[in-house]
Chain A
Amino acid sequence: MKVTRRDLLLLGAAGTAGLVVTPVPWKLLDDVSIWSQNWPWIPQPTRGPVEVKQSFCTLCPNGCGMRVRMAAGWPVGVAGVSSHPISRGALCPLGYGAHQLNWHPQRLRTVRHRANSSSWGEARAAFAKACSEGRIAIVDGQPGRAASSVMKTFVQKRDGSYRVALGPESQALAPYEIWSGVPAAALGYDLENAQTVVSFGAPLLDGWGSPGRFTRLWAERAAGMADPQLRLIQVEASLSGTSLSRTAARAWQWVPVRAGAEGALAAGLARALLDEHLVSVSARGPMPPLTVAQAAEQTGLSTGAIVDLARTMIARPPVVAIANDGNPAIAALNVVLGAAGARGGIVRRSKHAESYASAEGVIDSARAVLIDSTVPWDFTPKTDAEVFRFAAWDGGSSKADWLLPAPGFLEELTDVPTAPASAVETYAVAPSLVKAPPEVQSAAQFLGGIDPASITVEKIIHTRCDDLFRGRAGTLHGQEATPVAKVESVQKLEEQLWKGAVWIGEPPRSGDFRCELKEWPATGSSARVVNRSSVNWSRAWLAPVLPPLVSKLCQESSLREAPERRNS
């Protein structure tokens, strides 16, 4: 019996017909379609229980309350905390992408000595050698923390110098320290009680202070209103061809001054206020050297406009002027307005602050300079000393001899002292929510390794909680607001703080500080051209990189200019 072609064909036909009534074709179709939807290279989210923990954003000194959703120990989402009395549930656009920062491609993971890879052992040896050979200077970007205390103690023991690199909100308060003797760190703006705010280029609605503070005040009292309770006057240079800054676009009144002439305008306004007797005699401050006409020439506004602006400014008191940098002319204007030490103006929020030496000057006679990871990347120390720089992300070229990987976002325990410009003292504890990778170390830990006698950050925080409890002052804002006087024990207070509560001090009293100013300060050419780029978020943002989703916001929309560094 030969097997013929016909046999094979019949076999094939029957086989095919038979296959159709088996699961094979149908199951294979189904399985292949599922296979094609499950490519292994598409990342999948973690499975597992999600818990919500509370801490504070530590990427700028404002310390907004932050709720973090965690899955399998990793942060998978963030949101604000509405019970936080200052941030009131808001976060800035950078905060919303912050939980991804620790995996940014520019994350620093190894110690670098100039261009080469090195180790912590070598860095420690080099620093210890420097300590034995000369004086040490330390630069801190966020003074007032427990870690700051560790750094200060270290240099004090060795006759070194402790300096701070402050952001623009704090710099603007520096002139008052000279005129009143009260440290700038004890001062703030009482915006909650102001009715007219004149900003000289400060981006109050876009990256100034905690976004939940002034932006919310403005939203509640001014947005969309023809006659707002809070009058925001934005003095800002008009650069043709570019759009308005967000604050200028939303302000009640925009005053287009010539770039660099903010100080001249402040002088002109003070002159108008004094000449026209618009301010009370007791608040009479020093006479500015410019006449209104001279100010008009420098600013590009007419004399009439300047006088009108002066009248408008004091039409709805309390009024306060806010500078975008340390320009003393605007501070002097506040003295003339009577805002220094008054309700709605510059107020003293604390009795216990200290004066800081600025890191902007030349750091001479130092053998080594240590820069904490809280100092913004673009800070370059004016020194010839050996520079040890701590940072969690690499911002590109820098003057550092040693680049030391520091803990990143929410990777270390820290505390949150009062935010710059705040009208009341606050204190909070930001627990670490994410396990730090083994290769990182903070400046405070590093110094602790050199000097075994130094106290740990955790102990200092414990002492501070103790002090707060014994002070019996202020209120604890957790799920509810409890006066400290009613808190039963220091353990209860600490427990609340560790869970995300915020301590807030007594409201400031007017008359708590006074400025003496005999002569109008020399303006110089210190007033910088206001940065009008729409990348106008907090200049106090510490990391040299943006969260990847914020870079995405710049690249995939026209909303903000793309910064130089991309997220790839």
Chain B
Amino acid sequence: MTTARTTVVLGLGLAIALLAGWVAFPRALYVQRHQPLEFLHKTHAEKSGVAECSQCHALRDDGTFAGIPPMETCAGCHSERMGTSKAEAILVDNYIKPGQETPWLVYARQPANVWFSHAVHVKRGALACAECHGTYGETDEVRVYEQNRISGYSRDIWGHSMSRLRRAPGDGMKMGDCEDCHRRRNVEAGCLGCHK
């Protein structure tokens, strides 16, 4: 057998593996899911005058974080349709009127044994929302929710970059990412500081 042929076969094998691993695998691993309705942050902010993240994504007095606002917050303005968008129609008809919570898909959802306090990080740590969550909230982007078929969690946890190299800020929310930031800022936490 010639060296050329060997090289070709090896090269072919390598190419197939690399393609499978870097292109096919990520596509197969994640199932694309869509939010129940298309919420456009920027447009909403402009139209309603709600310009600060914390006006809807609020910190309660006892220090817990509301996360995505409950249906009650939306119902404060949208108890009836205010505009003509399809998204609002879905909100009012399917959720606000029947009194059901909208089943938002949470990109940053962590396992049940994780305790993350927004109060500690945002108020004491003075972390801006974008540092972990990206600038998504300032755009009209409606991101697809990519769910890992094996673990069940969002792609945002591992991060979009499969190699976990050259990542945008906020891309990746695994324990290692938390540890990196803690190390950079020299803040000790201890196991139960972040776990339940």
Q: Do chains A and B touch in the complex (CB under 8 A)?
A: yes
B148 and A49 contacting across the interface, CB-CB below 8 Å = no
A50 at interface (Cβ–Cβ under 8 A)?
A: yes
Count how many chain A residues have C-beta atoms less than 8 Å from C-beta atoms of the other chain: 30
B20 and A22 contacting across the interface, CB-CB below 8 Å = yes
A45 at interface (Cβ–Cβ under 8 A)?
A: yes
Within 8 A of B (CB), among A1-41: 4, 6-7, 10-19, 21-24, 27-28, 30-32, 34-35, 37-38
Chain B residues with Cβ below 8 Å from A397 are: none
A21 and B18 contacting across the interface, CB-CB below 8 Å = yes
Q: Bound complex: CA of A28 vs CA of B151, how far in Å?
A: 9
A558 at interface (Cβ–Cβ under 8 A)?
A: no
Chain B residues with Cβ below 8 Å from A15 are: 13-14, 16-17
Count how many chain B residues have C-beta atoms less than 8 Å from C-beta atoms of the other chain: 33
CB distance from A293 to the nearest CB of B (A): 67
The one of A18, A30, A35 in contact with B17, judged by C-beta atoms closer than 8 angstroms, is: A18
A11 and B112 contacting across the interface, CB-CB below 8 Å = no
A44 at interface (Cβ–Cβ under 8 A)?
A: yes
B158 and A30 contacting across the interface, CB-CB below 8 Å = yes
A44 and B25 contacting across the interface, CB-CB below 8 Å = no
B6 at interface (Cβ–Cβ under 8 A)?
A: yes
B163 and A23 contacting across the interface, CB-CB below 8 Å = yes
B162 and A27 contacting across the interface, CB-CB below 8 Å = yes
B185 at interface (Cβ–Cβ under 8 A)?
A: no
B11 at interface (Cβ–Cβ under 8 A)?
A: yes
Q: Mark B25-66, 1 if CB is under 8 A from A, else 0.
A: 110010000000000000000000000000000001010101
B150 at interface (Cβ–Cβ under 8 A)?
A: yes
A24 and B150 contacting across the interface, CB-CB below 8 Å = no
Chain A residues with Cβ below 8 Å from B18 are: 18, 21-22
B1 at interface (Cβ–Cβ under 8 A)?
A: yes
Residue of A nearest to B12 (CB): A11
CB distance from B23 to the nearest CB of A (A): 9
CB distance from A46 to the nearest CB of B (A): 11
A22 and B22 contacting across the interface, CB-CB below 8 Å = yes
A-binding residues in B (CB < 8 A): 1, 5-6, 9-18, 20-22, 25-26, 29, 60, 62, 64, 66, 111-112, 148, 150-153, 158, 162-163
Given A18-B21, A31-B29, A34-B151, 15 further pairs, Cβ under 8 A: A4-B1, A7-B5, A10-B6, A11-B9, A11-B16, A15-B16, A18-B14, A18-B17, A18-B18, A19-B17, A22-B21, A23-B25, A24-B21, A45-B112, A49-B64
